[in-house]
A and B are shown apart, each in its own frame.
Chain A
Amino acid sequence: MKFKVSNGPFVKSSNSTSKMMTRLLIALIPIICLSILKNTIIVYFYTDATLLESLHPIFMIILSIITSYVSELLYFKFILKYKIADCIHELSKSFSIIPGVLLSLVLPVSTPLWVIVFGAFFANIFGKMIYGGFGQNIFNPALIGYLFISASYSSLIGSHLNLYELDTLAGATPLTNLASLNYVGSYDEIVSGYGSLLNFFVGSIPGSLGEVSKMLIIFAFVYLTITKTIKYLIPIFYVGTVFVITYVVSLFTDMGIWYPIFHILSGGLLFGAVFMATDPVTSPITKFGQIFHGICLGVLTVSLRFFTSYPEGVMTSILFMNMFVPLCDKIGLSVKNNLKKVWIYILVIVIFISMTSYFIINKISYKEENKIPVNILETKKEGDKTIYNVSSKGWGLIKATVTVENGEIISIDITDKSGETQWSELEKNDYANKAIEYQDNIDSLDAVSGSTFSSDGIKNIIKKILESELNNEK
């Protein structure tokens, strides 16, 4: 008797699969609505974009879905040579609307439409159909499309900011901004440019179509977990690992709890974790396999964010771990059969997490040593003048207000010098005003003897402000 061997899951009626897909779509609807509100309605009413331009995101989503269906139809008809009636029947079973929607939601808002067509075509054919159709793919089809687009047309897909955000914000997504600051900085440098962390939570920050509203994604996650639609262990451990590693990093670099929260709430992390990593076909089946999968995803994403030049690490890490799903299942099975083995894998996990944190902290501290120890706390513009509130490392911490006009520092007002024990020496020498005189050639000014640290503190303020002015000019 010949036994037919196939892959799990084995008990899968098309009834439950279609229910699962429907619930997934229901969970996506609020996200799509917010995305349309943010990228279409607000753009139309607050900038001078034409109606056609503002409707671009809606076209993106619709075109992606249509291309998915059409490509599958073409495959069924011309490669598998089914009759039309069979094609339609197969189409209704294959749920190609999901990769279509997900692909359009991870792309930036200004992607040209033909790029989406090519991407969706490639995603469905090479991500799903050639492996045998629905349920037999190795890689997440939407991410295969994303991989194709970013490998071929990366220069064309444009920025992540819609027209309204381009008018009002600095010009980079939060993660790109973080990368340009070498991953470390104050709350103001990293977060305040986009509002407060609440903005990140609700979704009024720039990003791709689907990823911005973390609040809606969390609601979707709760809904999908309650209705037992997705494998909830994966997102929990994925996001949890990212939180743990960035928390350890923040402990060693004197940043607050806002840093790990920022990392969780920025980029495609929550979206990828809830909708992409939990794709039923391309994720592990066993419980411990899912936990291991999620943790490895977290380690990989954090490594990609900090060590490579790509600011976003989520999509690549999900694709990479797709390759390891059989291995994760093997691990899960071996743990199921022999519970003691779980300690080996826990040890491996702990080693991964500690090594990653160690290397990140090493990398950041190495860069930190070359930074000027001055933090710009606040910047205000008043007509021609810019007023900076800074804190500089002297003997203790010096706080000052600096006024700049036309790129030149015109006054320094020391607001807090309580940590400087030798301040009287600097007052005698009128050091602050001398520093302003020497601002173009600050290094040639000698420090006041007996109070070197405080003098350096003042000098560094000049250096930092001028550097900041230079950066703003660019």
Chain B
Amino acid sequence: MEMFTIFTTALIAENIILTKFLGICSFIGSSNKEKNALGMGITVTFVVLISTIFTYLINKYILIPTNSTYLQTLFFILVIACFVQITELITKKYFNNLYKSLGIYLPLITTNCAVFGIILTNINMNYDFITSIINSLGSCIGFVFVIYVFSLIREKIDKNNIINSLKGVPIALITAGIMALIFSRII
């Protein structure tokens, strides 16, 4: 039952974009088309889940025993960067179709706050293995959900006549703000 609470909290109350403000750059950047949004969301989910596993293992078996948790930042970012690079090479070689549709997002994800942020949250809250996975899964689903819904709204807004100074990013931010207020009332 507690797992369910953590899952739903990561999904709605502590939503990765609307509450924790992670991944805003990709949120604003790739949410203007529905296809982009879905692609970005799926790639992020994939990277986050595998990185969670690796960083958990590294943290538990290497960093904590040697009392070098201050190296967390360095190690984790290297893990993510390496993993993204490897994934890019593998998809380019073996799954060329997949690479063509999703591949452009992979380098962007290295510097995506969302990936790093989810991992840092897991470490800071000292979750064990299963809880980390569930938290990451919930956060990712929340991420995809919000980015997808937002892309649909943005496609609709782009056709309206909004004043020039608010066009593009500012109106997107204000809409995201209203969405965040609604989400905070759900749970």
Contact = CB atoms under 8 A, between A and B. Distances in A.
Interface stretch (B79-87, B109-117, B161-169): B161-169
A320 B181 CA distance: 10
Given A131-B171, A147-B185, A323-B153, A136 B160 contact: yes
B179 A323 contact: yes
A130 B166 contact: yes
B135 to A, nearest CB: 20
Contacts of B47: none
B156 A326 contact: yes
Given A132-B162, A316-B182, A319-B182, A326 B153 contact: yes
B152 interface: yes
B178 A144 contact: yes
A316 B155 CA distance: 23
Interface residues of A, number: 28
A327 B159 CA distance: 17
Given A138-B175, A147-B178, A316-B186, A131 B157 contact: yes
A5 B174 CA distance: 23
Nearest to A136: B160
Contact of A132 (B155, B161, B174, B187): B161
**Dominant SS among interface residues on chain B:** helix
Contacts of B181: 147-148, 151
A7 B156 contact: yes
B153 A138 contact: yes
Contacts of A50: none
Q: Residue among B163, B178, B179 with the most chain A CB within 10 A?
A: B178
Given A136-B160, A323-B182, A308 B187 contact: yes
Given A326-B152, A326-B153, A326-B156, A139 B185 contact: no
Contacts of A319: 182
A304 interface: yes
B186 A131 contact: no
B152 A327 contact: yes
Given A139-B178, A320-B182, A5 B163 contact: no
Nearest to A75: B163
A79 interface: yes
Interface of A: 5-7, 79-80, 126, 130-133, 136, 138-139, 144, 147-148, 150-151, 304, 308, 310, 316, 319-320, 323-324, 326-327
A327 B145 CA distance: 12
Contacts of A136: 160-161
Q: For the complex of A and B, list the 9 residue pairs with the smallest distance between their C-beta atoms, beginning with the closest.
A: A132-B160, A326-B152, A136-B160, A316-B185, A132-B161, A319-B182, A6-B159, A323-B149, A132-B162
A308 B178 CA distance: 20
B157 A138 contact: yes
Contacts of A316: 182, 185-186
Q: Residue among A6, A132, A304 with the most chain B CB within 10 A?
A: A132
Nearest to B148: A327
A320 B163 contact: no
Given A132-B162, A147-B182, A138 B156 contact: yes
Contacts of B186: 304, 308, 316, 320
A327 B38 CA distance: 14
A133 B174 CA distance: 15
Contacts of A133: 161
Contacts of B174: 126, 130
A133 B163 CA distance: 11
Contacts of B160: 7, 131-132, 136
A320 B180 CA distance: 10
A326 B155 contact: yes
Nearest to B165: A79
Nearest to A6: B159
Contacts of A151: 181, 184-185
Contacts of B155: 326
A136 B167 CA distance: 14
Contacts of A6: 159
Contacts of A310: 185
14 contacts: A7-B156, A126-B178, A130-B163, A131-B157, A131-B160, A131-B162, A131-B171, A136-B160, A139-B178, A308-B187, A316-B182, A320-B186, A323-B153, A323-B179
B147 to A, nearest CB: 12
Nearest to A307: B187
Contact of B149 (A5, A7, A79, A324): A324
A103 B88 CA distance: 52
A361 to B, nearest CB: 16
Nearest to A320: B182
Contacts of A132: 160-162
Contact of A79 (B163, B182, B185): B163
Given A80-B163, A304-B186, A320-B186, A130 B152 contact: no
A9 to B, nearest CB: 13
Contacts of B178: 126, 139, 144, 147
A230 to B, nearest CB: 21
Contacts of B159: 5-7
